[in-house]
Structure 1
Amino acid sequence: MKPLDPTNCIDCQKILKHWIEFQLVDEQGQPLVGMPYKLISQGNKKDIRTGTTDGEGLLREENLPPMPVRLWVDAQKLTDEMEFRQLRTVRGPLGSKVRHNAKAQGHSYRYVKIGDLCDQTPVIEGWVKTELPKYHFPDNKFQGFRAVFMDERWVLEVCPYRAWVLLLHHQPEYSLVNAYNQGLMSVLVYANATDNGDKKAKEYRGSVFHFFKEQLLDLSCLPNRIEKKDFQPIVYDVPFRDRYIVVEFIDTEDDLDTQMFYVANSKELIISWRGTASFTDAVITDLNFKPTKLPSDFIGKGRVHDGFWKAFWAGMNKPTIRKASVFDDIKELRKDRKIFICGHSLGGALALIHSVQLKEYNPCLYTYGMPRVFTYSAIMEIQDIIHYRHINRNDLVPGVPFEKDMHNYYFENGWDSFGYAVEALDSPVGRKVASFNTSLNILTPAAMLSNHMDKVKSNDLFLHQGKTVHLYKGEIIYDSTANIVSPINITKKLEFNFYLVPSLLPNDSAIEKFFPNNKQPNKSTSQNIFHHFSGVYMDFIKEKLISLCTPEHNVLYKENMKIFEDKMNQQKNALKEEYFNYQYFLKLEQQIGLRLSFSQESESGKRALAYFSYNEKANQD
């Protein structure tokens, strides 16, 4: 005879006198009403209790033995409902008002994911993996929620079934949030698909797949790792079905070493191109500046930097898992989606070419430290593309290729080596060498090749496209007055970081003086390679964003701006023309503070900025 299992058979009815309650609520404390459930006591597994939660999200079962119970909820109904419940701003247990209230009322409390309650695997739109989303489904066993203590109420705070997405605004006006988030995507693309780009560490954390497939699906905290850097993007929560379902990473490797990624959900397509990161990028792509004639089905007029053009098509022709090529995949994804494109350095150049290709779909392009790509004739055909071109201080890369017609007789006739030599020697550096040789009566190679140089010149200069955004450091150098404490004059320097977006004051007469169309800012004169790094761009933009959206930093920001303005007025005579320059810059600086109003107009924008500002404050406390 099989021995009696006491957990399956309880004969003594005297002990069936216990009860238990569960109250199911979301993170806002709102009840989950009408949820079908199943409850089984380990004291009698054959006694299966079923029902639905009431108007307060409450269920109660009585006449139970003094044994632990397990609770399951209908998987599909719970999943569908929790997609549309919102998160609280403060993540983690300390931010839970539900927990505080439950404890205050003497109830037991647990924070649970939907996977802790589901009775089976729900249908998840767009999910093809065998393993379920690990944050929402900590395991795939569906063992239910186990409660040990009887004769009390358990308050279960259920995490909404949501995901993070980037806050982006598809609009012609400048957006500081776009500048930050698209800038971070321009940094992320320097990582690889499954490692963060560090050749030694090869760490998964910070990689493209880690960011989109794990960080944006983990609601325990905000995403905070971009490549090898600690940056927190501005995100908000959406139903899980609206997450980024398409995540593609492209690396052409030996074929010009082009790298990019693109991601898409039901509403948006985000594309990021990588900048210079290898010898191939620097020599074969960047220095191959030959102005190549554009095909008639692309723009039809003007020329394009040959190295950038070839690198772009190396990426577009790469096969993907989904389609025969990146070109075909994006051609399908672009339909009925808002398109955002970005890139830093070489990546900005490729992003501009891609934006031209997608021109009829109205892409929103933000670039950082990008070089010139097209010549004047082509630029005139693409002026209406939404493009904000960021330049950090005296970054040298936006100054190349030089603002000149670099097409010549030798390029025209297929003698590219001579063509490059002529243009290099006709550059500012080459002319300095030539002037030195002339003083020594030495005939330079440029002089020897110059007979044919001007025969095909058409004054089709390399120019920039897009509206300028200049990240500029203002400085006032002054002598402190001698006093009892310091009996000698000491030279001091006062600095202020100006965020200059001239399109915010389009009718100001100073705009043409400092920011001529399609050219470099006139205040960007000297050249500094250390101003070019993507992390330096993002530190500048992040600092400004924090100064504007967190109250404590905003007070300090306004104080520093007032100090700079006061010192500027004190030093008016010494500053001379620079005084009037700073007057204009202060007007532009005041305008950037209004840029967050676009983000704060929508509920998603308000939530995203609330998440960002709270967590930035928490990180610094």
Structure 2
Amino acid sequence: MKYKKVACGKQRMHWLELQFVDENNHPVSGLKVQLEYHPLATAAELALWARGGHTRFDPTPPPNPPAGVTDSQGLVRFDDLHWVAVDVKTDGQQLADEMELRPLGISRNPNSQPVSNNIFRPETRDPKWRSNVQISAEQHGYDHHYVVIGELCDRMPDIPEWTDKEPPRFHFPHGTLLKGTEIPRETLEKRHVIEICPFRAWSLVLHDTKDYSLANGYNLGVMADMAYADKVLVEDFFKRKCLDLSTTPRHEEKPFYPHALVVDVPFRERYTTAEFLDSRSQSDKAPARLLLDSTQLFYVENAAHVIVAWRGTQEVPDWISDGWYSPQPCPAELAKAGHIHGGFLEAYQLAKERFGDDFDGIRDLLNRGKKLFIAGHSLGGALGLTYAAEMKGFAPILYTYGMPRTFTADAVGNLYQITHYRHVNDSDTITSVPFDANLDNWLYGKFGPLGTTLGFFWTLTAELPAQMAGAYIGEHYWHHGSPVVFFRATQTRTWLECKTMNSHTCRRLSSSDMHKVKLFLVPSLSEAENSEAKEAQEAFVREFPAADIQKVFPRDTNPNFDHMTSPGQHSMASEYLPFLNNQLLESAWPELKLSRKEFRQDFRQQMADYGASSPPEELKRNQMFLALQDMVGSSLKVTRKLPGGENALTRFKSVAEEEVESTR
């Protein structure tokens, strides 16, 4: 078939303006930008025409226009463009290096994540969502594009310490990887605002401070709970969720699904190591101990810190570790004096023998200046303290939850270098064992395994009653660290009941008032050394002298609680973490209406109405507790001062919800 040649006028040319900004609407200047024309026909169109006998059409696009460079406003203009769709591309390495330095905007784009095809996971994309940049662009009549760097890069940038075959999925989505951002020909002769997601990653907010930090308490609590998960969940959290900027990372483990408190950091400062260690998987490296072959932990590392989280009591060997009270002399690397709980020492040494290379690697990281944070719940807290004792030369920061006593008094006195905050959920039974007593006797070490059993029962039936009666014998087990107490407070009323006119027949009765309240108490916030609570300290100390505080919170042990000891208070996921979540939400957002605030107000009113009928010491104690509760918010000052810290709290407020608190 012959085609007729016709004369045409000069082709009309077009212009295009591109403005590159980050999520905070700050321009990206000095960026080399090139346009690539689309072919004049797609492969499908050519195949269709070929079936009709039309094979002479040449789809080759015209030569690409010269590259441009963005100015101080992030703007670049292209003139003399053909009416053909173009792909926008930039220098991959230059873009990655620049966008690593740009912080994220506060709100996250839910449409930047893949469509959920999981029927058990609700869709989170929102077609109505608009970023502040998009709203501003549309108000000026500009087109808007939200892109990740993989949708602009002309080549893969060099990513330090990235060893996977595939690039980071969020920043380099499979469907659009290195293809550029398309500008349809119908939208030429307009300005297009291209909002670029910074090349960042999430990092847990953790503070290197001796003062109590609520951010540390919450995030290390999440880590202590995560220690009960398996290898897959741990790696998924740090290797995928901490790289997905569409939402803040969440530990998805029932019954509580906490969002971590995170700040964005340059991608090269991301978590690069996430190792889950289970002693049962390395049984060939060291002989198993009798009835004991179950110690688990994980550790992660990024540019700033190393986190080591130890698993608590979960399986039969763990209960054996807990119940083996036999005190053993402290190894020299732990403490120069005193004793340690024999079962905990066995569990700890098992991990050290099985994973010696990993622990050596952690030590190397610390020698390079990284900060060590340790977390653990229950048995995990005891193992965390034992590990902190060995690593005390690095001044580790340890946060534990529901941990039992681990060392005797002389050993505790040798561990002053460790910053340790010990969380106690009211009358949690595990925090009161082993007993504050000397549990050593001659039967331990005799008769093999039977000696451990005989020694324990001899202590329980013969020696412990004498010690409880006041006889201080030998070394007692003590708690280490500063207490952080979740206290369920009650108020009682007393009155005289007289059946007759004879006053000698009267008896004093008491009962608890209706309103009870659970309080977040950090006694160390009242101490002069705390640098973040000075104003509140001055008023507190004037009303409540140090002697009063020490009477309620004696050193190296637990306070006296208003309720009977209860194993039901011990769960990390359903007791400790929800309460930490609620306190963080309240302190981050003081104006938010919460049920816990209403409970406290009811309790205050009850004290005002009936305080005259309450025991004076109890009334003063509860007043002290409420004053301590009011000071907890000061522990977030260090977080608010952190670059990006205020944004981290704002993001947390947007996703967290108040969890149910039991005060009964």
Is the pair's TM-score, using the shorter chain for normalization, greater than 0.5? yes
* Contact 1:494/1:564 (<8 A) preserved: yes
Displacement of 1:16: 4.7
Contact 2:333 2:390 (C-alpha < 8 Å) held by counterparts: no
Q: How does 1:46-61 map to 2 (within 5 A)?
A: 46-61=63-78
Shift of 1:63: 2.2
Measure how far apart 1:331 and its partner are.
1.3
Q: CA deviation at 1:57?
A: 1.4
Alignment partners' CA distance in 1, 2:644 and 2:270: 14
2:119 paired residue number? none
Residues 302 and 377 in structure 1, CA contact (< 8 A), matched pair in contact too:
yes
Q: Where in structure 2 are the equivalents of 1:107-122 lying within 5 Å?
A: 107-122=142-157
Counterparts of 1:458 and 1:80, CA distance in 2: 65
Whether 1:586 and 2:626 are equivalent positions in the alignment is: yes
Describe how 1:163-202 pairs up with structure 2 within 5 A.
Answer: 163-194=201-232
Aligned to 2:392: 359
Q: Which amino acid aligns with 1:212?
A: F
Cα deviations by residue, 1:405-443 (Å, 9 ceiling, x for unpaired): 1221122446442342232353279989x9xxxxxxxxx
CA–CA separation in structure 1 for the residues paired with 2:215 and 2:225: 15
Aligned residue number for residue 444 of structure 1: none
* Cα displacement string for residues 80-104 of structure 1 (whole angstroms, at most 9, x for unaligned residues): 0001111111112735111011111
Cα distance in 1, alignment partners of residues 295 and 379 from structure 2? 10
Using the TM superposition, give the Cα deviation of residue 12 of structure 1 relative to its aligned residue in structure 2, in angstroms: 6.6
2:372 alignment counterpart = 339
Question: 1:218 aligned to 241, 244, 251, which one?
Answer: 244
Change (3 A) 1:297 1:315: closer
* 1:138 pairs with 2:170: no
1:79–1:122 CA contact under 8 A, matched in 2: yes
The answer to whether the 8 Å contact 1:315/1:326 transfers is no
CA positional deviation for 1:594: 1.9
Partner of 1:614: 654
2:647 partner amino acid: R
Which of 336, 361, 365 matches 1:329?
361
SS at match of 2:646: helix
Correspondence 1:29 to 2:25: yes
Report 1:308-319 matches (<5 A): 308-319=344-355
1:292 aligns with 2:318: no
The RMSD of aligned alpha carbons is 2.9
CA–CA distance in structure 1, aligned partners of residues 35 and 9 of structure 2: 19
**TM superposition shift of 1:614:** 3.1
Partner of 1:173, secondary structure, is coil
Q: 1:429 to 1:344 in 2, by over 3 A?
A: farther
Q: Is 1:153–2:185 an aligned residue pair?
A: no
Could you tell me how far apart the structure 2 residues matched to 1:273 and 1:584 are?
Answer: 34
1:70 Cα deviation after fit: 0.9
- What letter corresponds to residue 516 of structure 2 in structure 1? E
TM alignment of 1:354-433, pairs within 5 A:
354-413=387-446, 415-427=448-460
Query: 1:423 & 1:617 partners in 2: Cα distance?
Result: 45
> 2:493·2:614 contact (CA, 8 Å) conserved in 1?
no
Q: Structure 1 residues 61 and 215 mapped into 2: Cα distance closer, same or farther (>3 Å)? A: same
Give the drift of 1:560. Answer: 4.4
2:338 to 275, 284, 302: 302
- What stretches of structure 2 of length at least 5 have no aligned partner? 41-60, 111-128, 495-510, 528-544
Distance 1:239 1:431 in 2: 57
Percent identity at matched positions? 34
* Structure 2 residue aligned with 1:124: 159
**What TM-score does the superposition give when structure 1 sets the normalisation length?**
0.85
Task: Compute the displacement of 1:557 (Å).
Answer: 5.6
User: Deviations for 1:173-196, whole angstroms, at most 9, x for unmatched residues?
Assistant: 1111111111111011111111xx
CA distance in 1: counterparts of 2:461 and 2:143, whole angstroms? 75
| In structure 1, distance between residues paired with 2:598 and 2:408 | 44
Matched position secondary structure for 2:313: coil
Change (3 A) 1:524 1:267: farther
Q: Distance in 2 between matches of 1:327 and 1:608?
A: 31
Tell me, yes or no, if the aligned pair for 1:396 and 1:532 is still in contact at 8 Å: yes
Q: TM-score, normalised by structure 2?
A: 0.80
Q: Give the counterpart of 1:465 among 480, 488, 504.
A: 480
Aligned residues of 2:437 and 2:464 also touching (Cα < 8 A): no
Unpaired runs of 5+ residues, structure 1, are 5-10, 195-206, 435-453, 480-489
CA distance in 2, matches of 1:173, 1:289: 32
Paired with 1:45 and 1:308, the residues of 2 have a C-alpha distance of 74
The answer to whether structure 1 residue 599 and structure 2 residue 636 are counterparts is: no
Q: Give 1:234's match in structure 2, choosing from 261, 268, 277.
A: 261
> Does the CA contact (< 8 Å) of 1:477 and 1:493 recur in 2?
no
Identify if the C-alpha distance between structure 1 residues 609 and 298 changes in structure 2 by more than 3 Å, giving closer, same or farther: same
Partner in structure 1 of residue 520 of structure 2: 499
